[in-house]
Copies of this chain bind each other. A is one copy, B any other.
Amino acid sequence: MVIPMLAEQSKVIRNWQLLIPKFEAIVGKKGVIQRREELLVYECDGLTSYRQRPALVVLPKTTEEVAEVVKICDRNLIPWVARGAGTGLSGGALPVEDCVLIVTALMRKILNIDLENQRVVVQPGVINNWVTQAVSGAGFYYAPDPSSQIICSIGGNVAENSGGVHCLKYGVTTNHILGLKIVTPDGDIVDIGGDIPEMPGYDLTGLFVGSEGTLGIATEITLRILKTPESICVLLADFTNLESAGSAVSDIISSGIIPGGMEIMDNLSINAVEDVVKIGLYPRDAGAILLVELDGLQVEVDTNKQRVSEICRNNGARNITTASNAEDRLKIWKGRKAAFAAAGHVSPDYYVQDGVIPRTKMAYVLKEIEALGEKYGYRIANVFHAGDGNLHPLILYDNSVPGALETVEEIGGEILKICVEVGGSLSGEHGIGADKKCYMPQMFNEVDLETMEWVRTVFNPKGLANPGKMLPTPRTCGESAKLQNIKQFEGTEVF
């Protein structure tokens, strides 16, 4: 599958033999990958159903090198795409035809750790989990924890505004980024945000986080770290059906408790995980399990453990087990974090959807998803961040069956339609990327989208930075009505 705009782009014939030495002069010969077989691994990110080989992979090591590489692209009108670890699930790092893929794999330095002020500065290629590893000895951690945290990069987390299990209580990536050094699409190096949260002027850090590589590339990232809680406890409650687990979630939230994380897995997911990861903790006959992590002071965790247990029992929980030491907790979470991978073992292929609904609509939406599975004849596993209504239906299919992928994508689209209809969102944490941009008009009207385009075109006027991602219309500035308006205005007299 290819993304739009490529047809137009392919009209341009670039002389790569002249261009390659320019990139080599910046990053060295070893920093440029051009051989067809070596480029293969860069054809897709975690959304493997979309593939496109880049013309070239460039591996810079510093902000300055990134800026020089981007300038070459800018001057020669070469589209470019930034890529971290390539674990994204929406095709945000999918190359476009004849592009330069800027890969941050050699930008993996932790540049500064300031425990007193609770901040860490990293290069974008640093793996999410390394941050916590670097500061946990001193009693700190980095809160956003995507399931892929042992392999995904902070730069990619910034681009997609990644979430994770602990984002219910602590917020997603954007709540943990203090400042950024970015290279804009015309090669300028700009500092946005800073070392402290209270920065005057426009919140460009907030704008950049989640902009999916369309506004530039972050080359230094200042993260906020938190104190490790005194006590952490995970409860595993098993229910005979999904509705009861969902109802327990609502009651927990209504009671005023904000768990560190709150996750539901349905029977299909439970069995997939037990088949593959064999953790032996998840009851195979449960309709659903609810995992609740409580953190804080020992007395607080003890009290909330009792309250959550009671709420679960009132909602029909059969058994509740708790894990307070680190080893047992990790074991319980291991299954949840491996749920996507496990789906890939029990089915030749799987398609993971990422949609958000108001918590109050959970029972209704889960029933609708089940009905869709039955209607189309596909198994759909449900694993989700229940506390914030972030669903992850996993549609199991076999890509070797002709037409299967198309049907599965259709089901995925139907699910998103339901999410939006009940007042939810197209994406909770995986981003829009190449995968979902066609659905954006379901959530935003023409004027709303045009407003986003103003912002894109002003940072990325030539449309070279990650073209064809996130927004449905790949207009460049010349086509933007808003910028036309500016042009017209330039002729008139202003006070």
Are A470 and B206 in contact, CB atoms less than 8 angstroms apart? no
Identify 18 new A-B residue pairs, CB closer than 8 A, beyond the known A172-B197, A188-B451, A196-B356. Answer: A12-B495, A117-B358, A161-B203, A190-B448, A195-B358, A196-B389, A196-B425, A197-B388, A198-B427, A200-B470, A202-B210, A202-B455, A202-B456, A206-B206, A230-B256, A458-B483, A458-B486, A461-B482
Chain A residues close to B by CB (< 8 Å): 8-9, 11-12, 77, 79, 116-117, 139, 161, 163, 171-172, 174-175, 184, 186, 188-192, 194-204, 206-207, 209-211, 227-230, 256, 296-297, 299-300, 302-304, 356, 358-360, 388-390, 423-429, 431-432, 436, 440, 443-445, 447-449, 451-452, 454-459, 461-463, 470-471, 476-478, 482-483, 485-487, 489-490, 492-495
A485-B186 CB under 8 A given contacts A203-B209, A296-B300: yes
Name A300's contact: one of B172, B297, B444, B459 (CB within 8 Å).
B297
A77-B204 CB under 8 A given contacts A425-B199, A458-B458: no
In angstroms, Cα B202 to Cα A443, docked, is: 13
Name A203's contact: one of B174, B300, B428, B444 (CB within 8 Å).
B174
Are B495 and A8 in contact, CB atoms less than 8 angstroms apart? yes
**What are 25 inter-chain pairs, A to B, with CB distance below 8 A?**
A77-B493, A117-B360, A139-B256, A161-B203, A172-B198, A174-B206, A175-B175, A194-B443, A195-B358, A197-B388, A198-B425, A200-B426, A200-B432, A200-B443, A201-B470, A204-B451, A204-B452, A230-B256, A299-B300, A299-B302, A458-B486, A461-B482, A477-B490, A478-B490, A478-B494
Are A207 and B198 in contact, CB atoms less than 8 angstroms apart? no
In angstroms, Cα B151 to Cα A405, docked, is: 58
Name A360's contact: one of B116, B186, B197 (CB within 8 Å).
B116
Residue of B nearest to A201 (CB): B452
**Cβ–Cβ < 8 Å partners of A202 in chain B:** 207, 210-211, 452, 455-456
**Cβ–Cβ < 8 Å partners of A174 in chain B:** 203, 206
In angstroms, Cα B476 to Cα A203, docked, is: 20
Q: How far is the CB of A143 from chain B (nearest CB, A)?
A: 13
**Cβ–Cβ < 8 Å partners of A198 in chain B:** 163, 172, 356, 388, 390, 425, 427-429
Interface of A, helix, strand, loop or mixed by DSSP: loop
Are B495 and A79 in contact, CB atoms less than 8 angstroms apart? yes
Are B494 and A77 in contact, CB atoms less than 8 angstroms apart? yes
Residue of B nearest to A430 (CB): B200
Q: How far is the CB of A301 from chain B (nearest CB, A)?
A: 9
Are A463 and B494 in contact, CB atoms less than 8 angstroms apart? yes
Residue of B nearest to A456 (CB): B202
**Cβ–Cβ < 8 Å partners of A485 in chain B:** 186, 461
Are B201 and A423 in contact, CB atoms less than 8 angstroms apart? no
Most buried by B among A191, A444, A495: A495
**Cβ–Cβ < 8 Å partners of A201 in chain B:** 432, 440, 444, 449, 452, 470-471
**Cβ–Cβ < 8 Å partners of A356 in chain B:** 196, 198
In angstroms, Cα B423 to Cα A210, docked, is: 26
Name A454's contact: one of B199, B448, B458 (CB within 8 Å).
B458
In angstroms, Cα B198 to Cα A390, docked, is: 9
**Cβ–Cβ < 8 Å partners of A445 in chain B:** 191
**Cβ–Cβ < 8 Å partners of A11 in chain B:** 495
Q: How far is the CB of A41 from chain B (nearest CB, A)?
A: 26
Are A455 and B455 in contact, CB atoms less than 8 angstroms apart? yes
Name A458's contact: one of B302, B471, B482 (CB within 8 Å).
B482
**Cβ–Cβ < 8 Å partners of A228 in chain B:** 256
Are A451 and B184 in contact, CB atoms less than 8 angstroms apart? yes
In angstroms, Cα B154 to Cα A328, docked, is: 46
Residue of B nearest to A6 (CB): B495
Are A424 and B477 in contact, CB atoms less than 8 angstroms apart? no
Q: How far is the CB of A8 from chain B (nearest CB, A)?
A: 6
Name A256's contact: one of B184, B229, B436 (CB within 8 Å).
B229
The 4 closest A-B pairs by CB, nearest first: A206-B206, A227-B256, A300-B300, A299-B299
A196-B489 CB under 8 A given contacts A201-B470, A207-B202: no
In angstroms, Cα B163 to Cα A256, docked, is: 23
Q: How far is the CB of A467 from chain B (nearest CB, A)?
A: 9
